[in-house]
Amino acid sequence: MYNILVPVDGSEPSKRAINEALKLTKGREDQYQITLLYVSTSPAYFPIYAEDTEQLVINVHELERAQGNKLLKTLKDQLHAESDVLVNTKHLFGSPAKEICQFADKEKVDMVIMGNRGMGTFGKMILGSVSNRVIQEVNAPVLIVK
């Protein structure tokens, strides 16, 4: 079975990457699986102080986990509505480019399909830093979608 890795962040380019993966698998759904990968980059904890001076600790890690898992579930549900291809999801924490490359190599994915830029600070760049690093470092073919 061929494994296509699609890193997602909710941006339009990442949604177009999912559509490209669906096009590639159309008519051969039983031969492919698509893995949607979301990478959270937030710090683990962020303290906030209440008016009554009690310290409330909000676990940003858990908020990020919830947000990422919600996005992955939404995208997986959309894929299941459109196709019979097997869809897996994975949520990691760390540097997006590093985590994508390590995951792709560890799982020996057959192809990476990703948007040319994401929702990061430098999203207006022609080729985002994450996609550029993945092209340079991953040991699988990479399709960049505009």
Q: Where are the alpha helices (DSSP H) in the chain?
A: 12-25, 60-82, 96-107, 129-137
Predicted local distance difference test score (pLDDT) of residue 96: 92
The predicted-structure confidence for 44-90, as pLDDT tens digits, reads as follows: 555 555 554 444 445 677 788 899 999 999 999 999 999 999 999 99
The pLDDT value recorded for residue 126 is 40
What local confidence, expressed as pLDDT, does residue 55 receive? 42
pLDDT of the residue at 47: 56
Mean pLDDT of 126-131: 70
Report how far residue 77's alpha carbon sits from residue 12's, in angstroms, rounded to the nearest whole number. Answer: 17
Contact predicate 141/5, CB 8 Å: no
User: What angle do the packed helices 129-137 and 96-107 form, to 10 degrees?
Assistant: 30
Range of lowest pLDDT (8-17, 25-34, 57-66): 57-66
Average pLDDT, the chain: 86
